[in-house]
Structure 1
């Protein structure tokens, strides 16, 4: 009689249906021996109620609190699917399926083409999604600045979600653990047609919604009705008499022309007008809440310095994207000339893209968008690298709750984090696109709640709500994508 059979006999388990299969199946015998060893050492109490219970039921009951989500080492990617939502005009959700029925959720950055992600499918089919870093290194060559990175980053998000589900741990745990249980958010200041109405909106943002950090747009477009506020602006206006910064395919239009090449200048009158806008907000906001500014428009470094000096009295938390992110020397000049912290980074791809700014201390705060910077792990690396140089990290985010939660996990795991942007605060159905898998609220009074136990990103899809907000150009809902299965190139980038 085997040791296992003797143990079962002592427990009164003499049913041949229990004992005989163990004699015939060495694998099952080993698993039973392992179970009883772990039961004894681990303190599983086999009380009298278990004495005549089939061993399978004993295992099921005594390990009922231990969740099993699959065999991670045997996972394989079987499909990449998508659904295009109307969030911020057009934002695609991704779903990576596996052979074990679990899937991971990701997102292609707002305004980017879902095909950035779909073309990667042929490179990752059949791979184990838990080998996140290896897969990322294989596909990162297909990313680029800004929305060109949307596919690589969306896939990376979904891989961490899958890996967390497979191992039954939150994504932040896979990044090394967390520094915080909730993540501070910053929100746009609402605009209105009158100071009285804006005051009401500001009170709602701060007192009712609970936000403790705000950001306002402060673009030269605000001066279009001010005669003498700008020099050379009429030349760049579109047919609607606007300085159109987004949404044009004209390569030579204002929005596609780099800042030093517009020769737009801000007059003293214009500077006073922009300062008055900040003064109005500061008057309503006070100085207990940080206030950041963004979207100034396309003008050169000299005008950026003049504007920055005009605004120093308001102690702004930062000035964002005053010049293009890759003008490292100009950022260094701005940081030297101005007391207000300088910030950029939402369009930078990978740590290698951030290093020139960080190494030269050209900015005070980095501002990656996880859906462009390389995903969760690469963004944490970016934050950690900046921390070594005494540079803080805020995070840009404009998307669905999927990328929002990817950012939350990364922010929780990064020490030098300041605040995360929430761009869809006033979209009533935004939060209901997903449901949390641990029952928590997504956001409470201006802070995102970090999932402390929920595996992966800690969310699942709310199918009914998503289907109500699919983009008119593509109403498909996570349909199979066999047309993207074939790999047709040799991708190695060295000889």
Structure 2
């Protein structure tokens, strides 16, 4: 390869690797975090001295990954589909899928390293060389303040944005919300706690409703955002709060003049019929999916065309190959796929490979724009530098997930309650259990 040539997958082939003889010898974890967030990094070791990395989803227990160790020892990590079928019974929706998905990422990392090819090759090849990121932005007190935050992201080169819009800022303000006294947990005095009791019940059961004044307040907020950043940049909206389908429709219709990119997770994903009702009633795209595990559980929503955009999180949906299947299934029904993500660069890069290999992909979420050290957890091609450049991540051409883990940076950000950096885990070597699901 000459100096002016781009790296090729074949340039990274490991001539010392014998993929057919590769065996898993260990599984260890390290949990990092900042503010109130925490993430467990999974490392799978082998008999040939190569390791693969994955990540348990944010706020999920590392136990979800460690319990899989006894089912993986001695197996060949290159048999990704075989091992996924063996362990997928131990995942579930939301963060309970974190262990299975973290292991799947690590298996693709190992298989790619063993064969000397990027993970996207194992997923069928790539449709794009760079991945568009959309930048998430939590609540601000006013639409003007939110608009200024979003403009900062535009100035950094992001071409797609997301903001929180919903009932949370209205809590405690007179005349904005109504609800039956005593409906919410811990509500003897007829109060809403924005962090607790309004989130204790699923949306259809809180009976929290927006008043006309409340809807006008939200619309004014979004109008101020648009006045600040203009009408052209795609802005998605999320975190509407636990309100019922009728108020979701009322609010969605009121927001239509502001040309939002999509309305996310307005009702729980389980209620396919409500999503169909929502999609038919609105002219703004709707999307959900960050808490759905496995392609088979996306199928009812996709086949009913209850969403315009499907929105899996790789650390819940089943990992790289399963999420690629979800994207392909959605494409068959004329539905695009965006990817939810609130993780370290480890799970982000796994998502990058999946996004590269999925034709109907739109954009991948980035949640930590304000964290200056976020990129430092990994190096790519021996360099530690901003992973996101002008709103995109370049798809790496190195083997596996295409990065090297910076353990010194991990050590700096270990959480107080779990200080070990890939400490031995012998207690999980053997867990007697009859796992078969049939007789």
Fold match by TM threshold 0.5:
yes
2:193 pairs with one of 217, 223, 243: 243
2 CA distance for matches of 1:420 and 1:475?
A: 30
The alignment status of 1:109 with 2:54, answered yes or no, reads: no
**Larger Rg belongs to:** 1
1:191, distance to aligned residue in structure 2 (A): 5.4
SS at structure 2 position matched to 1:274: helix
1:360 to 1:194, Cα distance in 2 relative to 1, 3 A:
closer
CA distance in 1, matches of 2:318, 2:11: 38
* Corresponding position: 1:174 with 2:122: yes
Q: Aligned to 1:449, which of 394, 404, 419?
A: 394
Secondary structure, in 3 states, of the residue corresponding to 1:227? coil
Q: Deviations over 1:300-328 (max 9, x none)?
A: 11111000010011111111011000100
What are the superposed Cα offsets for residues 19-76 of structure 1, whole Å, 9 maximum, x if unpaired?
Answer: xxxxxxxxxxxxxxxxxxxxxxxxxxxxxxxxxxxxxxxxxxxx99864251111110
Give distance in 1, aligned partners of 2:426 and 2:12.
38
Cα 1:351–1:311 change in 2 (3 A) is: same
In 1, Cα distance between the equivalents of 2:146 and 2:242?
A: 27
Q: Say yes or no: does 1:364 pair with 2:364.
A: no
Change (3 A) 1:388 1:196: closer
What is the aligned counterpart of 1:79 among 26, 35, 49?
A: 26
Matching residue of 1:228: 175
Unaligned runs of 5+ in 1: 1-62
Distance in 1 (alpha carbons) for counterparts of 2:284 and 2:12: 52
Partner residue in 2 for 1:258: 202
**Pair 1:214 & 2:132 matched:** no
Q: 1:151 to 1:367 in 2, by over 3 A?
A: same
2:243 alignment counterpart? 299
Distance (whole Å) between structure 2 residues aligned to residue 66 and residue 367 of structure 1: 34
TM-score (norm 2): 0.92
The aligned residue for residue 40 of structure 2 is 92
Alignment check: 8 A CA contact 2:43 2:54 kept: yes
Q: Does the CA-based 8 Å contact 1:72-1:167 persist in structure 2?
A: yes
SS for the counterpart of 1:86 is strand
**Aligned match of 1:487:** 431
SS in 2 for 1:94: strand
Contact 1:69/1:166 (<8 A) preserved: no
Change (3 A) 1:267 1:378: same
Partner of 2:94: 146
Task: Kindly provide the CA deviation profile for residues 380-432 of structure 1, in whole angstroms up to 9, marking residues without a partner as x.
Answer: 00000100110000000001100000000000000000010001111111110
Q: Which residue of 2 aligns with 1:317?
A: 261
1:189/1:233 CA distance change after superposition, 3 Å = farther
**CA separation of 1:432 and 1:219: change in aligned 2, threshold 3 A:** same
Q: Counterparts of 2:236 and 2:11 in 1: how far apart (Å)? A: 49
- Deviation larger for 433-442 or 167-176: 433-442
Query: Where do residues 15-414 of structure 1 align in structure 2 (5 Å cutoff)?
Result: 67-68=14-15, 70-87=17-34, 89-189=37-137, 192=140, 198=146, 200-207=148-155, 209-232=156-179, 236=184, 243-245=193-195, 253-414=197-358
Shift of 1:203: 2.9
- Are 2:131 and 2:355, in contact at CA under 8 Å, matched by a contact in 1? yes
Q: Residues 393 and 310 from structure 1, CA distance in 2 versus in 1: closer, same or farther, beyond 3 angstroms?
A: same
Q: Is the CA contact (8 Å cut-off) linking 2:143 and 2:225 kept in structure 1?
A: no
Once the two structures are TM-superposed, the CA of residue 196 in structure 1 deviates from its matched residue by: 6.4
1:449 Cα shift?
1.1
With normalisation by structure 1, the TM-score equals 0.82
CA contact (8 A) 1:309 1:338 kept: yes
Cα distance between partner residues in 2 of 1:106 and 1:220: 35
Which has the higher relative contact order, 1 or 2, with Cα contacts under 8 A spaced 6 or more apart? Answer: 2
Mapped partners of 1:130, 1:152: distance in 2: 16
Runs of at least 4 residues of structure 1 off by over 6 A?
A: 237-241
Corresponding residue of 2:421? 477
Q: Relative to structure 1, is the Cα distance of residues 472 and 242 closer, same or farther in structure 2, using a 3 angstrom cutoff?
A: farther
Structure 2: where are the runs of 5+ without partners? 1-9
Q: CA RMSD in A?
A: 2.1
Q: Alignment partner of 2:255: what SS?
A: helix
In structure 2, C-alpha distance between the alignment counterparts of 1:264 and 1:326, rounded to whole Å: 20
Q: Give me the whole-angstrom Cα distance separating, in 1, the residues matched to 2:136 and 2:261.
A: 13
CA distance, structure 1, for counterparts of residue 14 and residue 367 of structure 2? 35
Matched residue, 1:17: none
Listed one character per residue, the Cα deviations across residues 326-377 of structure 1 (whole Å, up to 9, x for unaligned) are: 1000000000111111100000000011000011111111000000000000
- Per-residue deviation at 1:480? 1.2
Q: 1:374 to 1:190 in 2, by over 3 A?
A: closer
| Structure 1 residue 115, shift from structure 2 partner | 0.3
C-alpha deviations, 1:99-148, integer Å up to 9, x for none?
A: 11100000000000000000000001000000000000000000000100
